[in-house]
Structure 1
Amino acid sequence: MTSAGRLAGVDGCPSGWIVVAIAAEGPLDPTVAIATSFKAVMDEDTAIIAVDMPIGLPDSIGPTGRGPEQRVRPLLGGRQSSVFAVPSRAAVFTEDYRAACDVAAATSTPPRMVAKQCYHLFPKMREIDALMTPAAESRIYEVHPELAFWRLNDDHALALPKKVKGRPDPAGLDERRAILVRHGFDAGFLARAPRGAGADDLLDAAANALIARRIASGLAEPFPREPQRDGRGLRMAIWA
């Protein structure tokens, strides 16, 4: 999928994980592939993996929520609804939706339910959580595509959504493609997603790859600036 010295931007997709790999410096030389598991992503010889999935799950959630989401939402303007509220680890590891809502309410102050969109991410969140260790943090970083595009757009929130009522929004996708092209991606590479992934998945993974390059070069920063750690010692921060 990738070779030594490459950087990977990763996003969940219907077939598993879409991986856009780029060079650490110079021309991007991008490639795209689908991995059926996050372990397969980790097994590739990539220097940095920037993945759109929460890493680090609190035992309980306070009034302001998990730190990273609290910090990045105000930056995203109309796109802040794309940053889902992450519940406690116990809720994430509860498979039934209604039961997960009960656990989330019991482990949050004030009691909060689980958004359906977040619940659908639980299997991938559990997959990463089972593999992550504090030692892996030198290589694997949590990112978020809308924050990535905010950063790539000179720290300005995007004007258009990428989806409207669950369907891709052509104007929003074009806005994101234009930003990626400005940062070195070829329009042809971005024109068609591989089978098993959507057009938005490809664009998100490409944006994540550019944040991986910022991380590798020391330019990225964590949100919040001083991340907290969960009960397993995992860092809780979104990077951009």
Structure 2
Amino acid sequence: MIPDLAGVDGCRAGWIAWIRTAGSSAPDLRIYSRFADLVEDLGPDAVIAVDMPIGLPDRISGSGRGPEQAIRPFLGPRQSSVFSIPARVAVEAPNYGEACARALETSDPPKKVSKQAFFLFPRILEIDRLLQADKQLRSRVFECHPEFAFSRLNNGLAMQTPKKIKGKVNPAGIAERLEVLARHGFDCEAFRNGPPRGAAMDDVIDAAVNLVIAGRRAAGLTSTFPANPVADRHGIPIAIHG
């Protein structure tokens, strides 16, 4: 029997998720303020693909964690969508200045933290604490990167148009991604009403492609990047699936 599946992305309201429960004919779009509530809402074997870094190494060598370095070559013009996440001590720092200082100490070459990455830290730690507390979740909650997911579903070809331009949703970019989702069985009529309150259209699209990857993971059709991922000090695997 196919387990519950969820494709998740962060949004202004917290977390947006396309969820396909076992036996349902169509996915359901939901908003959660806490990731733990999402996990609790699903079956005990649910497979959850989330666009958020999972697994935090103690040191960084090169341009980010292993998964970030592994997927950038596949993304062509979309490489800038892959943020470099620093070492655990930087992510756990109480403020931006401290995060930059800790990142400089634990990276080679030394590198500070981008503001874009810093704003993700509370979300990263929200999932990280869950996976530290419940080892069983580590095989079911996994990291997915939407732009890489689209390239994997598009015969290895990266999307040619951005989802956003100068902070605004780009209709051409959305249309390009909807075409890929439709080819993989996602009924694009589900997007007709636009995003729910607290989310943007690109959040809805990203959660949708993550749902497709969750289904492929449940069917054994995905790979890990890098191919032989390591785990962090808590035993949490550091890999992007696609």
Give your verdict on TM over 0.5: yes
1:229/1:235 contact within 8 Å kept: yes
Aligned residue in 2 for 1:43: 40
Further displaced range: 43-52 or 80-89: 43-52
Taking the TM superposition and a 5 Å limit, the aligned residue runs for 1:1-40 are 5-22=3-20, 29-40=26-37
Shift of 1:188: 2.0
Taking the TM superposition and a 5 Å limit, the aligned residue runs for 1:150-169 are 150-169=151-170
* Unmatched segments (≥5 aa) in structure 2: none
Aligned residue in 2 for 1:210: 212
Q: Secondary structure at the match of 1:34?
A: strand
* Unmatched segments (≥5 aa) in structure 1: none
Q: 1:184 to 1:194 in 2, by over 3 A?
A: same
Further displaced range: 95-104 or 73-82: 95-104
Shift of 1:23: 5.3
Letter in 2 for 1:229: A
Q: Which runs of 4+ in 1 moved over 6 A?
A: none
**2: distance between equivalents of 1:39 and 1:210?**
21
Shift of 1:35: 0.6
Q: Secondary structure at the match of 1:230?
A: coil
TM-score by length of 2: 0.93
**1: distance between equivalents of 2:220 and 2:25?**
17
Q: For this pair of structures, how many residues does the alignment match? A: 236
Taking the TM superposition and a 5 Å limit, the aligned residue runs for 1:193-208 are 193-208=195-210
Letter in 1 for 2:82: V
**2: distance between equivalents of 1:6 and 1:28?**
12
Taking the TM superposition and a 5 Å limit, the aligned residue runs for 1:48-197 are 48-133=47-132, 134-191=135-192, 192-197=194-199
**2: distance between equivalents of 1:171 and 1:183?**
19
Further displaced range: 133-142 or 89-98: 133-142
**2: distance between equivalents of 1:76 and 1:207?**
16
Q: Secondary structure at the match of 2:61?
A: coil
**2: distance between equivalents of 1:127 and 1:23?**
24
**2: distance between equivalents of 1:85 and 1:44?**
31
1:24/1:216 contact within 8 Å kept: no
Q: Secondary structure at the match of 2:127?
A: helix
**2: distance between equivalents of 1:145 and 1:153?**
12
**2: distance between equivalents of 1:118 and 1:24?**
35
**2: distance between equivalents of 1:119 and 1:23?**
33
Q: For 1:171-227, what per-residue CA distance to the aligned partner results, in whole angstroms no more than 9, with x for missing partners?
A: 111111111122222222123111111000000000000000000000011001110
RMSD (CA atoms): 1.6
TM-score by length of 1: 0.94
Q: For 1:40-75, what per-residue CA distance to the aligned partner results, in whole angstroms no more than 9, with x for missing partners?
A: 111122420001101100111112531100000000
Greater percentage in strand: 1
Identity of aligned residues (%): 49
